[in-house]
Amino acid sequence: MCPPTYFDVVYAINPWMDLSGSVDTDLAVAQWETLKATYESRGHRVDVVQPEPGLPDMVYAANGGIVVGGRALAARFTFPERAAEGPAYERWFATEGAPAYTSLGQSVEVMEGEGDLLVAGDLLLAGTGFRTTPAAHAEVAERLGLAEQGITLVPLELVDPRYYHLDTALAMLDDGSISGSRTVAYYPEAFSPAAQETLRELFPDAVVASAEDAAVLGLNIVSDGLHVFLSDRATRLADDLKDRGFVPVGIDLSELLKGGGSVKCCTLELRPAVGPLTPEMTR
């Protein structure tokens, strides 16, 4: 995670950003600290990436790259306003992340990290349509060695600009590593008809989110397979999760929502090279 020390809305690169509004940076920091403490209170370890001046969106750590099997690939951003974040996260992977994670450098193609790349057990769900390109999917598969890790990449096209990253429209709830069954939640209307059909085939028992919960970025979720950390505004989704046996943990990130991000956007998950995942290893 990266604290929102320099968070502000000074440009508009997604529909959530409103240049006529105001941002309370102190409140954003306090909300971020609450999220971090909430993870830690559930037994998760949080590594902190130091923010850099002039990068107001660096708080959205999920976009900084992806780590699978101990291999870390830093992002390359679509918009020039965020371009310097890729090298910043690359430096963290190469220094603070080592030796636990091997840095592969920065992607060549436009690839916005876990914003568009979500690990679902032996699948890597890969969003495209607004940010991460199909060419980046191929690069990710090759450089992370997905085939040798037994992971299949599944492309999913996004069509609603409000849900410009995959992690705003779909959440991994249970990767199946313990239960043996993968579970996701998603908002169908954010996806193309072909992607909707793919999701129905892969996840027939998915939690289908309402338009109201999607519209507060309620699907921007982090789950450890039991606790589901999500926006406290996504009340219907929280009830649906309870019915499925999950424990929803509501978090107020109202200030960070002004930049187009919530819980998952603030969280880059680190996956080790070998051995089963534990809470201490995954955050």
Write out the catalytic residue numbers.
165, 265
Span between the terminal Cα atoms of the chain, in Å: 9
Kindly report the three-state secondary structure assignment for every residue of the chain. Answer: CCCCCCCCCCCCCCCCCCCCCCCCHHHHHHHHHHHHHHHHHCCCCCCCCCCCCCCCCCCCHHHHEEEECCEEEECECCCHHHCCHHHHHHHHHHCCCCCCCEEEEECCCCECHHHCEEEECCEEEEEECCCCCHHHHHHHHHHCCCCCCCCEEEEEEECCHHHCCHHHCEEEEECCCCCCCCEEEECHHHECHHHHHHHHHHCCCCEECCHHHHCCCCCCCEECCCEEEEECCCHHHHHHHHHCCCEEEEECCHHHHCCCCCCHHHCCCCCCCCCCCCHHHHC
228 touches 244 (CB < 8 A): no
